[in-house]
Each structure stands twice: as C-alpha cells, then as structure tokens.
Amino acid sequence: MVPSLTRTIFASSWLLFTIARADAAPSRPNIIFILTDDQDNHMGSLDYMPSLQKHLIHQGTTFERHYCSTAICCPSRVTLWTGQLAHNTNVTNVNPPWGGYPKFVQNGYNDHHLALWLQQSGYNTYYVGKLFNSHTIHNYDSPPVSGYTQSNFFLDPFTYQYYNVSTTRNGAPPTNPVGKYSTDIVAESAQEFLQHALQDETSPFFITLAPIAPHALVGEGSVGAFDPPQVAQRHQGLFPEYKIPRTPNFNPDSPSGVDWVSKLPKLDDEVVDYNDEYQRLRLRSLQAVDEIIEAVVARLDQARALENTFIFYTSDNGYHIGQHRLHPGKTCGFETDINVPLIVRGPGVPTQRITRVPSSHTDLAPTILQIAGVEIDDKKFDGSPIDIYGTATAARSEHVAVEFWGYGLAESIFGRKNGPPVYPNNTYKGLRIEAEEYGFYYSVWCSNERELYDMKARRIHLVDTTVIINGDNWPLGKVVDRLDALMMVLKSCKQQTCIQPWKSLHPSANVQSLSDALSAVYDEFYREQLKVSFTSCESGYILESEGPQAFHAYEDVKHYSPDDEIYDPLKQQVLVNPNWSLWE
C-alpha cells in the first residue's frame, strides 16, 4: 500500500509541475504560410491539387470570400506583410517609382513588416521564393531584407524563369542553379528550414513558401513577353481534357465592362484553344506546389509538430483567362482577379468548414499576430483578425476595398500580337460588398466611367433601373449613392476607418451595412454626398488627380453649401449587366 501511495503522490505532484510549466510558458504555435503567384479561384485550380484538398481543405477552413485589395503581385504582397492598403503604403505597382522592393524599402517597410515583428517576438523566421518584384540581383543587399532567420529569395530579372532562377541564400551573392525547377528549389528550402526550425525546441517558427507557380514565364530582358508557366518534367501532359469553365462571363457575345475592357474583341477559336492549354499548363505547374504540401505535412507529422502548426494557403492575386473576353492576366476588379484562395488549418480551426464571410489580405498580418500572441506598438493595420476559429458572434463587416493604378496587362502571345500587351489607364477604385442577401461590385474608373455588378442576380431578371436587396426592389440610383459614399470613405481610409467605414458617414447612428444605409431617411444625404471622381488617369497614387478627398458625415448635412454640385444619378452612365455574375 505504502509504495503505491507514494507513487500516486509523486505522480500527481509531477503532473502539477508540468501544468504549472505549461501555464508559465504556453508553447506558441508555428505558422507556415504558402503563397502562390497568380493562382485562380474560379477556374478550378484548387480541385486539381489533391494534397491541398486532403491536408488543408479537409483539415481546415476555406474562406470562400477572401479578396486581395490590389490585383497585382507587389502591391498585394506589401499589403499582406504590412496589413495596409496600397493607398497607405503607396506601393502601387511592380516597379519604381510606383512600387517594387526599392519602394517598399524607401517607404520604411523593411522596418515594419510581419516577419520582423514575429522575429522580434522570438520566432525563427524563414522565406523561400519570390518576395517582391524589382528585388534584383543588383539591389538584394542594398539593403538586405530584414526579419528573416534564413532566406532563399528569387531575384529579378530571373524570378519567372522556371529553369534558370537566380537566388540569394541568406544574403549571399546570387547564383543561378540552372536547370533546377524553380518550385523544387522551394521544396528543398522548405525541408532545410523545417530541419533547422524543428531543432530549436524553445522557439516557434514562421515559414513562408512562395513558389512562382502558376505565374507566367517571363523572359529575361523582354518586358511584357509573357508565356505560359513551364512545368516539371514529371507533370507534363496532365489533365488533357481540362477546359476553362464556360461560364456566362466567358468570352461573351456582347462586350463586357467599361473603358478598355469594353473595347476587347471576342476571342476566336484559335485563341480560346490556346487559352485552354495555357490554363492546363498552370494546373500542371501547381502540381509541384501540391507536392510541397504533402512533404511539409509529412515532415511536421513525423516531428509531432503538426498539431501545433497553422498552415495558411493563399495567392497574391487571382487570374482571368477568357472571362469578359480577356487574354490571360490579372489587374482587373473582376471576381476572377480579386477573389483569391484562402485556406487555414491549425489548432482550434474547424475542419471541413467553408465560410462566406468576406475578408481581405489586409486582415492576414493582424490574424497571424493574434494567433502568435504578439502585440506591436506601431501597428497601422487597415484590416482586423479573421475569425479563423468560427466562434465570432458579432457580424463582420461586409465590404472589401479594391484599388488599382496603372496599366492592364495581357500575358500571352495573342495579347501582344498587335503591339505591347499593355492597356493604359487601368486606374480605378472598386468596392466589393458581400452579405448573405446581396452582393455587389461597384467600380469608378479614372475616366469616371462607373460599373455595377449584382453578384447575386442568379436567375432574377433585372431591369436596369432597380436591384433587389433583401427581397425588395431598390432604385439603382439609391443603391449606387450608398456604394459611392462608402467608396469615398474607403479610397483614402486609414486603419479604423477602413475597418468600420460606415461609422465615418454616420458617427452617431447605428449604420453598419448597406442594408442599414438604405433607409429612406438618408436618401437626401446620400444623393448630395460628394462623389468619387478623377480629374486624370495617372500611373500611381497622385492625390491631386483623385477628385474630392473629404466627404460629408450625416450629422454635417446642414453644412452643405448651395454651390456643392448636386449629383444626379440619371446623368451618370452606370452600367449594369446581371449576366456577368451568373456563374457565381
């Protein structure tokens, strides 16, 4: 009896000891962030990735309505790593003076970004692949990227050469491992990083894997000469039957959109065939990424670290091929371009869950800091943590701010057949609203053309003067007045204003959604609100060209001067085509 009693006491005091230790130093989770380049969410690319399906979608939560705010690589990546919208980072395109790595550095973000904050809080941090555009074999060390314990960055002008990428390992002079498939380099670094990270039992880790796939191949020195991605030998010829979904917005009989999009000719059969093969090559290029998921999960599992590791999977921006008659590319505000994959698995994240609550790339840095338990002093986030545990009780806001400056780009041989594959004046503001009962995409271009898409118009016949919201018919002008006012706030918002924009319009009323704002009480206020407009088309964020910046709050309505221009929605060309979103 006595020995047994002793053992019991011993055992329970040991138990107490371990609990106390766990309380004092809870082990912080590891985070793996997989960031693909230009992956679509609307041409089935996720369906062709079996390991992603098995280990992430089935073991985690899919955020079906996750958006990038600027549909091109560098601005979108800067938003990811800073939690700020492009109009606040002023990294608005891929090359200086508007964007690229030099602009990221120049604007102070090499000292303010997610990996650095995590590293300062005790995380080991790693990055392999493309970080930003214009991060080159010439400027990789002036200055070096801050915030990484180990790194293997792909450098311009070789970033998009699948078999001749240039890489700098931990800041060393770049080398080209010629003939080695780009995504397999990511796979190798992933295993090396995991080996290093798992050896350190006292620090959690944050690893970003940023393969090029399925981005177009871009030849050295031939700016804009895009071709389909190259595929690893072992994946050639896969999916011969695949075709881009022939949704109602696919190569439609009548033109789509506004501005340059409305002038695109219908694609002929030769181009459509080429485009189908283009997307097959993209799907094949993603197979090497899928293998990375398999290998990373296996390694974590083997090290018994899987349970304490979050895995995020997303893309910098989306992609279109053939929708709205477009050649392969991004840069547009269409759902194909802005709605990107986001899947999260990890401790406490519900499995096999799909949520349609909208979120944006501005939310990911705050989300990751929250799960890492890191508080920073100088955060300037334009987003807020995503409810990855599916436990939120309060409704999340229904808006996503979208913005773009510069040119549109056609990334195929047919796109450059008649000159440079560049569409000028692709500068616009967009606003995506997604609620259970309604969904809109509203956009104002630098030409002051406007467009509105009813994203939920499935099988409802619309006459072009009303839209249906919560079962009621609303005059188009009234709805556009509200959307325009919300865009007016968002186009120059900072932090809390971006997170709760209706509050700026109604500081003392409980208006939190489009539905609330539709109240007839506010009709006059919204009709007379200053409208989003541009005075010219610029390649970057030139404040003077972006029309009025200030707006009226509801409470200030009495301060309107008689000289304020009264907006007449009937005089504005608002284009509505319910068919463009039927495939939704």
Ligand X SMILES: *[C@@H]1O[C@H](CO)[C@@H](O)[C@H](O)[C@H]1NC(C)=O
Give phi and psi for 353, each to the nearest 5.
-105, 145
Q: How far is the CB of 516 from ligand X (least distance, A)?
A: 30
End-to-end CA separation in angstroms for the chain? 71
CA distances from 548 to 420, 537, 552 (A): 33, 15, 11
- Cβ neighbors of 425 (< 8 A, separation 6 or more) are 259, 260, 407, 445, 446, 447, 537
Which of 98/404 has CB closer to ligand X?
A: 98
Q: How far is the CB of 558 from ligand X (least distance, A)?
A: 31
Coil/strand/helix, residue 257: coil
Q: How far is the CB of 462 from ligand X (least distance, A)?
A: 9
Residue 73 is among the residues annotated as catalytic for this protein = yes
The upper half-sphere exposure of residue 211, i.e. CA atoms within 13 Å in the direction of its Cβ, equals 32
Which of 254/510 has CB closer to ligand X?
A: 254
Q: How far is the CB of 87 from ligand X (least distance, A)?
A: 7
| Position with the least CB separation from ligand X | 537
Q: Are strands 342-345 and 30-36 parallel, antiparallel or unpaired?
A: unpaired
Q: How far is the CB of 434 from ligand X (least distance, A)?
A: 22
Spatial distance between the Cα atoms of 565 and 561, rounded to a whole number of angstroms: 9
Spatial distance between the Cα atoms of 9 and 11, rounded to a whole number of angstroms: 5
Which of 9/178 has CB closer to ligand X?
A: 178
Which of 127/162 has CB closer to ligand X?
A: 162
Q: How far is the CB of 547 from ligand X (least distance, A)?
A: 12
Spell out where 324-447 has E strands. Answer: 342-345, 353-355, 359-360, 399-404, 408-409, 422-423, 428-434, 439-445
Spatial distance between the Cα atoms of 186 and 151, rounded to a whole number of angstroms: 11
Q: How far is the CB of 180 from ligand X (least distance, A)?
A: 11
Spatial distance between the Cα atoms of 422 and 274, rounded to a whole number of angstroms: 20
Which of 176/308 has CB closer to ligand X?
A: 176
Which of 533/579 has CB closer to ligand X?
A: 579
Which of 162/474 has CB closer to ligand X?
A: 162
Q: For the residues of 84-121, what is the DSSP string, one character each?
A: --HHHH---BSSTTTBSHHHHHHTTGGGSSHHHHHHHT
Q: Which residues pair with 451 in a beta bridge?
A: 443, 575
Spatial distance between the Cα atoms of 274 and 412, rounded to a whole number of angstroms: 9
Q: How far is the CB of 566 from ligand X (least distance, A)?
A: 25
CA distances from 323 to 230, 235, 250, 298 (A): 23, 26, 4, 38
Q: How far is the CB of 176 from ligand X (least distance, A)?
A: 4
Spatial distance between the Cα atoms of 517 and 506, rounded to a whole number of angstroms: 9
- From the list 73, 332, 446, 537, the catalytic residue is 73
CB 45 within 8 A of CB 334: no
**CA 513, 514, 520, 524 torsion: positive or negative?**
positive
Which of 172/543 has CB closer to ligand X?
A: 543
> Quick one: tokens of 522?
């506010």
Which of 104/525 has CB closer to ligand X?
A: 104
Q: Which residues pair with 444 in a beta bridge?
A: 429, 450
**Using CB under 6 A as the criterion, which residues of the chain lie in contact with ligand X when the complex forms?**
90, 97-98, 158, 164, 166, 176, 178, 254, 424-425, 536-537, 540-543, 577, 579
Catalytic residues: 73
